[in-house]
């Protein structure tokens, strides 16, 4: 069993490594090339004569040096802009930077990005361009026709040239994929990154709340999307009863080439780039020359340049707005950081909770271990080992101290018991620290005195029994020598006892 698991694991690991290797190889080798003939961007987006190089526009569209106003904020406007030449590459990525702005809370109708086999019209019925298209339409639909409160909406709709767009249902019956995103009246331009690579269509959307390049979000990803080859790019827009300005600022096309396909081009790449940059420089020179010529020919229109100059300076309101926006951007950044931190905290909390539940599952072990002492540390120390250790050492100290106190109290108790015992044996009620020897000595002394008295009485009876009883009276019969001797003996004993008592008292004081 173990062997089988190992084998399976090794197989999966190998597969995983191989897959990662291949995918990184793939990702690294995708060749990207900026296609300036399918792009426009400011400044000099439109030339003086109003044309946009490599593009043609019509309807109500207006091109300026800064943007293409595909449809202005007037009622029932339609406009479009299309590439002049068909594509000569299969896979691509478009960066579409645009603004949809209007005074109303609700706007209309919307903006469309097209990749179709043929160029569409400039005044069509689908967001300003032709219906029954052949190819891809990505619609930024502002107006909620079906009243389902799901607009503004972004959606991709494929058509083979036969279907009529379902406007009344906002295209919900036909859409390939989409997402609900508000793209109107944002502080910064909104952006869509549309990638079509190896039949996978991906749309990333930037909501224009910041100016950061990092804030793209996935809108949709659709696989097995087959689009006609050598089609045209286009952007169109339309207004209705309600009207927004529909401005496109950047349309940047990058062609994507899978690894291997660009192999032949690799060695000519340097030459190609040199040629293109030369072409670009020539083009710029020509443009400058044209501007100079224009100025010379129309000296009376130099005030126009002054107006242009005014664009370089911002008004107080604009400055204030800009500052507010940058402040908001900072707040947004802080919020994003906070969000990340919160995620971390939540993750940790979940981990802790799972650990606690583990401890609860092992509850029987814990209670058993607690009785034998010190065992639960194994389970708990995974949470806070140091604290548990500290508590344990504290407990040990307390236990030792308690043990010491107990022995001390035992000593005191035994001493007190001895004292009480001795006092019970003592003849008087005097409460003095007295040792056993002292008490026994007193009783011994008393016994000795009694013995002495008895001896005296015996010797007296012996003396009287010798026939001289009648000669002396009972009281005076004791001879003076014996009486004095007894007195001396008694005095010596009393003095000795006093000395002994003083000694004992001094010793006792020393001890306590």
Distance, CA of 356 to CA of 382 (rounded, Å): 10
Distance, CA of 80 to CA of 228 (rounded, Å): 20
Q: Report whether 145 contacts 241 (CB < 8 A).
A: no
Bridge partners for 154 per DSSP: 140, 179
* The token pair that represents 266 in the structure block: 């690799």
Helix boundaries (H) for 362-376: 363-372
185 versus 422: smaller Cβ distance to Ca ion: 185
Q: Report whether 151 contacts 142 (CB < 8 A).
A: yes
Half-sphere exposure of 50 toward its Cβ, with a 13 Å CA cutoff?
A: 7
- Give least dist CB 74 to Ca ion, A: 19
Q: For tokens 């080992």, what's the residue?
A: 385
Binding track over 151-170 against Ca ion, x by CB under 5 A: x------------------x
106 versus 353: smaller Cβ distance to Ca ion: 106
Q: Which residues contact 329 (CB under 8 A, 6 or more apart)?
A: 209, 210, 211, 212
Distance, CA of 410 to CA of 386 (rounded, Å): 36
- Give least dist CB 244 to Ca ion, A: 12
Distance, CA of 498 to CA of 494 (rounded, Å): 6
Distance, CA of 93 to CA of 24 (rounded, Å): 19
Q: How many residues in the shown chain lie near Ca ion by CB under 5 A?
A: 9
Give ∠ CA 92-98-101 in degrees, rounded to 5.
Answer: 155
146 versus 381: smaller Cβ distance to Ca ion: 146
Distance, CA of 404 to CA of 395 (rounded, Å): 14
DSSP codes of every residue in 125-158: SBTTB-SS-EEEEEEEE-S-TT-SS--SEEEEEE
- Give least dist CB 168 to Ca ion, A: 9
Q: How far apart are the first and last CA of the chain?
A: 79
- Give least dist CB 153 to Ca ion, A: 6
- Give least dist CB 151 to Ca ion, A: 5
Residue numbers 131-150 binding Ca ion by CB under 5 A: 141, 143-146, 148, 150
Distance, CA of 34 to CA of 44 (rounded, Å): 18
Q: Report whether 231 contacts 115 (CB < 8 A).
A: yes
C-alpha dihedral sign at 447, 451, 457, 458: positive
Whether the bond between 109 and the residue before it is cis, its omega within 30 degrees of 0, is yes
Binding track over 394-423 against Ca ion, x by CB under 5 A: ------------------------------
Give ∠ CA 104-110-112 in degrees, rounded to 5.
Answer: 160
Question: Would you count residue 90 as binding Ca ion (CB under 5 A)?
Answer: no
Q: Which residues contact 208 (CB under 8 A, 6 or more apart)?
A: 99, 183, 186, 187, 188, 189, 190, 191
Nearest to 57 by CA among 237, 230, 190, 223: 237
56 versus 146: smaller Cβ distance to Ca ion: 146
- Give least dist CB 171 to Ca ion, A: 7
150 versus 360: smaller Cβ distance to Ca ion: 150
User: For binding to Ca ion (CB under 5 A), which residues are involved?
Assistant: 141, 143-146, 148, 150-151, 170
């Amino acid at each position: 069993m173990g062997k089988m698991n190992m084998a399976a694991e090794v197989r999966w690991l190998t597969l995983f490594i191989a897959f990662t290797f291949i995918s990184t190889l793939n990702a690294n080798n995708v060749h990207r090339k900026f296609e300036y003939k399918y792009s426009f961007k400011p400044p000099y987006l439109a030339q003086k004569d109003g044309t946009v190089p490599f593009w043609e526009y019509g309807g109500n569209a207006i091109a300026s040096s800064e943007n293409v106003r595909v449809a202005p904020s007037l009622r029932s406007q339609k406009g479009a802009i299309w590439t002049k030449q068909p594509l000569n590459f299969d896979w691509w990525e478009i960066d579409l930077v645009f603004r949809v702005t209007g005074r109303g809370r609700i706007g209309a109708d919307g903006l469309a990005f097209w990749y179709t086999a043929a160029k569409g019209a400039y005044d069509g019925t689908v967001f300003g361009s032709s219906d029954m298209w052949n190819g891809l339409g990505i619609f930024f639909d502002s107006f909620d026709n079906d009243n389902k409160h799901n607009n503004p909406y972004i959606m991709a709709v494929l058509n083979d040239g036969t279907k009529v767009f379902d406007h009344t249902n906002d295209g919900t019956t036909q859409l390939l994929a989409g997402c609900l995103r508000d793209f109107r009246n944002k502080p910064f331009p909104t952006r869509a990154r549309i990638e079509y690579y190896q039949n996978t269509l991906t749309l990333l959307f930037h909501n224009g709340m910041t100016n950061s390049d990092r804030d793209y979000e996935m809108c949709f990803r659709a696989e097995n999307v087959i689009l006609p080859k050598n089609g045209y790019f286009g952007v169109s827009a339309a207004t209705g009863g309600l009207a927004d300005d529909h401005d496109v600022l950047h349309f940047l096309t990058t062609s994507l080439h899978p690894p291997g396909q660009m192999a032949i081009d690799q060695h000519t790449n340097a030459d190609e780039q040199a040629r293109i940059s030369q072409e670009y420089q020539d083009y710029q020179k020509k443009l400058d020359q044209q501007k100079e010529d224009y100025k010379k020919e129309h000296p009376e229109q130099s005030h126009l340049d002054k107006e242009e100059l005014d664009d370089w300076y911002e008004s107080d309101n604009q400055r204030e707005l800009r500052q507010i926006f940058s402040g908001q951007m900072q707040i947004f950044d802080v919020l994003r950081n906070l969000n990340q931190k919160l995620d971390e905290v939540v993750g940790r909390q979940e981990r802790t909770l799972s650990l606690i539940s583990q401890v609860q599952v092992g509850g029987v072990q814990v209670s058993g271990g607690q009785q034998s002492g010190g065992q639960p540390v194994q389970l708990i120390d995974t949470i806070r080992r140091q604290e548990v250790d500290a508590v344990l050492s504290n407990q040990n100290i307390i236990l030792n101290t308690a043990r010491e106190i107990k022995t001390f109290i035992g000593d005191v108790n035994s001493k007190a018991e001895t004292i009480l015992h001795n006092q019970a044996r003592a003849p008087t009620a005097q409460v003095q620290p007295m040792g056993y020897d002292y008490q026994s000595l007193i009783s011994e002394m008393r016994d000795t005195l009694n013995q002495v008295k008895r001896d005296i009485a015996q010797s007296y009876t012996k003396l009287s029994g010798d026939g001289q009883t009648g000669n002396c009276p009972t009281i005076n019969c004791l001879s003076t020598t014996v009486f004095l001797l007894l007195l001396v003996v008694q005095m010596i004993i009393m003095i000795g006892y006093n000395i002994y008592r003083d000694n004992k008292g001094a010793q006792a004081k020393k001890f306590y």
